[in-house]
Amino acid sequence: MRICHIAICVSNWERSLRFYHDQLGFRFVNAFELKGAYAEALHGLAGAVIHTASLEREGVRIELREFAIPQRSVPAGPGRDGAGGGIAFDRPGLSHLSLRVADLDAALAELAAARVEILESHQAEAAEGELGPGSPARRAVFIRDPDGTPIELVSTRGD
Q: What is the pTM of this model?
A: 0.62
Q: Model confidence over 86-124: pLDDT tens digits?
A: 567 767 667 787 888 899 999 999 889 998 889 988 999
Sheet holding 150-156, edge to edge: 27-35, 49-57, 60-68, 2-9, 93-100, 150-156, 138-144, 118-126
Distance CA 159, CA 155 (A): 7
Into how many domains does the chain fold?
A: 1
Containing structural domain, residue 123: 2-156
Are the C-beta atoms of residues 155 and 101 closer than 8 Å to each other? yes
> How far is 104 from 89, CA to CA, in rounded Å?
22
Q: Which CA distances in Å does 18 have to 12, 21, 28, 112, 130?
A: 10, 5, 10, 40, 28
Residue 84 confidence (pLDDT):
44
Spatial distance between the Cα atoms of 159 and 30, rounded to a whole number of angstroms: 21
Question: How many whole angstroms separate alpha carbon 79 and alpha carbon 105?
Answer: 26
Residues of the chain with pLDDT under 70: 70-87, 90, 92-93, 146-147, 159
* Domain at 19, CATH number: 3.10.180.10
pLDDT of residue 105: 95
